[in-house]
């Protein structure tokens, strides 16, 4: 197959990546300095390495809640230095080591470091499409749609265009999951999984989700292949030994620095971040149910877009549209689940469902656990599972675009429009925007359902263009004017 044929076959994937880099460069260049969460603290970690100070040590002076609140309230004016923000010093070092040469080459300029993270985000987009292809090799449209969601989700794009170690963590975890799926088919050595696992362990603790998944992936292959217990134990050791060997390099350093048993540096971190809002205090002031409602609302908003240091909230109409879109994707996924329950899955797809489902559930559990102590209702902590969420959304929308379900869903939306309109009319407050967005969703679903199967990819292309338009609306309508 010639190069031109390959490009022609995969041009949607290439187009998504190119568009991601273009839109992301706008975000990286135009987002005001330090207006990505924790960016100055990540930057200062890189600066410490570049200046030959060695790996930084978490100290009491690294976090000042009142000063941080002043910086964010005043939009990081040049008169207020950010050199003292060093509360990310407990982080594992791999991302910062990789970014240090860029810091040195460009004399500490912020934009090249942001573009480095953006490129890592492009790796996540590519790996999302590869993951989807591994699960559904004969459905390229699903892969493109899932990759597009990861590429153009506004909040994720904003995070990838900032200096932080999330980009490398997500890229390595997506790579590990892809390799794990191929390992299940006997295409990848367990040692390779172990090396990538080790890289995750020295990048960020959210990547530690791969540790229990390593046990799971060996168990899945053992069960399907009928191998012996000795084989399974050997395979697991071949994954864990390289991974733990790499991770132990950092853990030993932390033990020597912070003492036993603080091998992650998290205990020292907790002692330093005095003043960070705590969940128990918020519940005591607000009550449990108001706290939970606020947590869910903020989490949803920050999944789609709540920029700066959570201070820039979007127009309510955007969140309404995002809510309708999310509900429709989940509705389609629900009906896909009904079909799967009736018809079953191929062994390859069943194992993928178990592995990816477990990864998503563990990723979801981690921020819930963290929020039991600290108030951090930020959906970016769910982004390590974003490729999985994107795949589910793409599959749900494909199911929704089937003729019968599309017709019934469109009719259901029209009924909702009438009910909402009737209730609003009785109150004397007609919700025109809600009715319009629901009506537009009904029309979109009907059009997608009416398209021939060979043309449904066009609907996905139009959806991606809508996401890109939303990205620019977020950037020029909210981020630049409100944070500049």
| pLDDT per position as a tens digit, 295-333 | 999 999 999 999 999 999 999 999 999 999 999 999 999
Higher pLDDT, 375 or 19: 19
Q: So what's the pLDDT on residue 126? A: 98
Instruction: In whole angstroms, give the CA distance from residue 378 to residue 295.
Output: 9
- CA dist 441 to 154, 232, 417, 421, 430, Å? 20, 49, 11, 16, 19
Q: So what's the pLDDT on residue 373? A: 83
Instruction: In whole angstroms, give the CA distance from residue 206 to residue 120.
Output: 17
What DSSP element (H or E) covers 403?
A: helix 403-427
Higher pLDDT, 152 or 274: 152
Alpha helices, H only, 345-402: 347-371, 386-400
Q: So what's the pLDDT on residue 7? A: 56
Q: So what's the pLDDT on residue 4? A: 53
Instruction: In whole angstroms, give the CA distance from residue 32 to residue 34.
Output: 6
- Quote the pTM value: 0.96
Confidence of residue 195 (pLDDT cuts 50, 70, 90): very high
Query: Model confidence over 24-51: pLDDT tens digits?
Result: 999 999 999 999 999 999 999 999 999 9
Instruction: In whole angstroms, give the CA distance from residue 220 to residue 243.
Output: 20
Q: What's the average model confidence in pLDDT over 84-108? A: 97
Query: Model confidence over 466-483: pLDDT tens digits?
Result: 999 999 999 999 999 999
Average model confidence (pLDDT) for the chain? 95
Higher pLDDT, 242 or 484: 242
Confidence of residue 275 (pLDDT cuts 50, 70, 90): confident
Q: 234: Cβ–Cβ under 8 A, 6 or more apart, which residues?
A: none
Q: What's the average model confidence in pLDDT over 261-283? A: 88
Q: So what's the pLDDT on residue 371? A: 87
Q: So what's the pLDDT on residue 311? A: 93
Least confident of 91-100, 117-126, 363-372, 402-411: 363-372
Q: What's the average model confidence in pLDDT over 376-398? A: 96
Instruction: In whole angstroms, give the CA distance from residue 191 to residue 178.
Output: 15
Q: Which two tokens stand for residue 188?
A: 């990848």
Confidence of residue 1 (pLDDT cuts 50, 70, 90): very low
Q: Which of 159, 138, 156, 162 is nearest to 147 (CA)?
A: 156
pLDDT above 70 coverage of the chain, percent? 98
Q: Which two tokens stand for residue 156?
A: 């994720």
293-303 burial: b if 16+ Cβ within 10 Å, else e = eebeebbbbbb
Q: So what's the pLDDT on residue 303? A: 98
Instruction: In whole angstroms, give the CA distance from residue 10 to residue 1.
Output: 13
Q: So what's the pLDDT on residue 484? A: 84
What DSSP element (H or E) covers 70?
A: helix 65-73
Residue 194 scores a pLDDT above 90: yes
Q: Are 355 and 181 in contact (CB under 8 A)?
A: yes
């Amino acid at each position: 197959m010639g190069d031109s044929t390959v490009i022609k076959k995969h041009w949607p994937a290439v187009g998504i990546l190119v568009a991601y880099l273009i839109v992301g460069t706008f975000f990286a260049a135009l987002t005001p300095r330090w207006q990505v969460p924790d960016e100055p603290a990540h930057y200062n970690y890189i600066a410490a390495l570049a200046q030959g100070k060695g790996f930084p040590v978490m100290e009491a002076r690294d976090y000042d809640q009142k000063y941080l609140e002043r910086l964010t309230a005043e939009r990081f004016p040049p008169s207020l230095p950010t050199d003292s923000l060093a509360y990310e010093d407990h982080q594992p070092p791999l991302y910062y080591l990789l970014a240090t040469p860029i810091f040195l080459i460009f004399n500490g300029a912020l934009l090249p470091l942001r573009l480095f993270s953006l490129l890592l985000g492009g790796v996540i987009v590519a790996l999302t499409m590869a993951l989807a292809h591994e699960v559904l090799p004969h459905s390229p449209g699903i892969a493109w749609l899932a990759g597009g969601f990861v590429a153009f989700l506004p909040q994720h794009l904003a995070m990838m265009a900032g200096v932080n170690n999330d980009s490398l963590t997500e890229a390595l975890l997506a790579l590990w999951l892809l390799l794990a799926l191929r390992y299940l088919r006997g295409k990848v050595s367990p040692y390779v999984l172990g090396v990538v696992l080790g890289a995750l362990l020295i990048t960020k603790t959210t990547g530690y989700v791969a540790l229990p998944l390593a046990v799971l992936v060996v168990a899945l292959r053992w069960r399907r292949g009928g191998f012996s217990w000795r084989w399974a134990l050997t395979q697991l050791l071949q994954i864990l030994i390289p991974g733990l060997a790499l991770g132990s390099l950092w853990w030993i350093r932390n033990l020597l620095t912070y003492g036993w048993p603080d091998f992650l540096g998290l205990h020292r971190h907790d002692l330093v971040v005095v003043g960070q809002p705590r969940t128990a205090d918020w519940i005591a002031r607000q009550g449990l149910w108001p706290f939970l409602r606020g947590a869910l609302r903020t989490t949803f908003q920050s999944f789609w877009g709540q920029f700066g240091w959570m201070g820039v909230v979007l127009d309510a109409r955007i969140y309404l549209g995002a809510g309708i879109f999310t509900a429709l994707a989940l509705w389609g996924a629900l009906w896909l689940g009904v079909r799967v329950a009736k018809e079953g899955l191929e062994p390859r797809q069943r194992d993928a469902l178990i592995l990816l489902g477990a990864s998503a559930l563990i990723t979801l559990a981690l921020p819930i656990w963290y929020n039991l102590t600290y108030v951090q209702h930020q959906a970016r902590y769910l982004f390590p599972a974003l490729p999985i969420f994107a795949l589910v959304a793409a599959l749900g929308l494909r199911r929704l675009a089937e003729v019968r379900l599309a017709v019934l869903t469109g009719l259901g939306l029209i009924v909702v429009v009438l009910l909402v309109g009737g209730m609003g009319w009785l109150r004397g407050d007609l919700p025109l925007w809600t009715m319009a967005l629901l009506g537009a969703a009904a029309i979109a679903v009907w059009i997608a359902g009416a398209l021939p199967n060979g043309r449904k990819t066009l609907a996905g292309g139009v959806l991606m263009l809508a996401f890109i338009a939303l990205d620019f609306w977020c950037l020029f309508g909210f981020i630049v004017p409100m944070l500049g």
